[in-house]
Amino acid sequence: MTAQPGLARYVLALADDALISSQRLGWWISRAPQLEEDVALANIGLDQLGQARQLLAHAGRLEGLGRDEDQLAYFRDERDFRNVCLVERVQDDFGVAMARLLCVSTWQHALYGALAGSTDADLAAIAAKAVKEVAYHLDHARNWVLRLGDGTEFSHARMQAALDAEWPWIEELFDDSWLEPEVLEQGAVVRPSSLREPVLARVLEVLRQATVAPPESPPAVSRGRHGLHTEQLGYLLAEMQHLARSHPGATW
C-alpha cells in the first residue's frame, strides 16, 4: 500500500476518539447505578475499543511506518494523540456520562454513516460496521437523557448540569482546521463542519423531549485535534499504557 500520511492522520484521530472514549466508559464497570447498566456500558466501551482497533490498524497501514495497533495505542505520547478533548475528560458523574454519550454517539452515527461511502474501501467497511453499533449507543444514551431529564426535580437538575458541563466541548467535533485540503478533496473523508447542523439538530430534539434547556455556554478552547490536551489525558494514558511500556515487546 502506498503511504497516505494525510489520510492516516484523519483515521488516527477517529481511532483516538474511540480509544479514549472506551477507556472512560470502562471506568463505569462496577460503578454504574445498576447491574444492567454495568453490562451495558461495558458493551458500549468494548464496541468503541473494537472500532479503535480497526481504525488504528488501518491508520498504521496508511502511514507506511510499520506501526501496528498496539504500537499506536501504547507507545505514542500525549502530544501525538489527536482525539477531541471532549472524550478525555473525567466523567465520574452518571449524568455527565450520558450527556457525553448522547453527543458523541450522535456525532459518530452521522460520521460513520457518511464514511460508509468513502472512496477508501477499508475505511468504508469499518464505518459500515461501526454505524450499526453506534445506533445502539445513541439509543441507550437518548433513553437515559429522557429518563433523567423528564424525571424528578432532582434528576432534571442533574441532567441539566451535566449537559451544561459537556456542551462547551462539542464544538471541536466540527472543526476543519486540522485537515489538509487535499485530503478533503479525495472523497475518502468527511468534512467535520458538514456534520454540525444535522448532529446538533438531533441532539437538540432529544433535549427538547427531555425538557432540558439547550445550553448557551460559549465553546471551550479545545485543540485536541492539534495535539493540545487537557491534563486529564496524561493521567489516563499513564494508566492505559503502563503495562505495555513496562514490558516492551512482551507477548501473551
| pLDDT tens readout for residues 212-245 | 999 988 999 899 999 999 999 999 999 999 999 9
pLDDT band at 137 (very low <50, low <70, confident <90, very high): very high
- Write out the three cell numbers for 135: 445506533
Q: Which of 21, 90, 80, 104 is nearest to 228 (CA)?
A: 80
Mean pLDDT of 82-91: 97
Q: What are phi and psi of 223, to 5 degrees?
A: -130, 35
Q: Cell 426535580 identifies what position?
A: 153
- Residue 252 pLDDT greater than 80, yes or no: no
Mean pLDDT of 201-208: 98
DSSP 207-221: HHHTTPPPP-PPPP-
The pLDDT of residue 2 is 81
Enumerate the β-bridge partners of residue 184.
Answer: none
The pLDDT of residue 127 is 98
The pLDDT of residue 103 is 98
Q: Report the percentage of the chain scoring pLDDT > 90.
A: 91
Q: Cell 450527556 identifies what position?
A: 99
DSSP 186-250: TTSS--GGGGHHHHHHHHHHHHHHTTPPPP-PPPP--BGGGTB--HHHHHHHHHHHHHHHHSTT-
pLDDT band at 209 (very low <50, low <70, confident <90, very high): very high
pLDDT band at 135 (very low <50, low <70, confident <90, very high): very high
Mean pLDDT of 164-178: 97
The pLDDT of residue 186 is 86
The mean predicted confidence, pLDDT, of the chain is: 96
The pLDDT of residue 59 is 98
- Residue 246 pLDDT greater than 90, yes or no: yes
Q: What is the pLDDT of residues 3-35, one digit of tens each?
A: 799 999 999 999 999 999 999 999 999 999 999
The pLDDT of residue 250 is 83
Domains of the chain, first to last:
5-246 (1.20.1260.10)
The pLDDT of residue 182 is 86
The pLDDT of residue 249 is 84
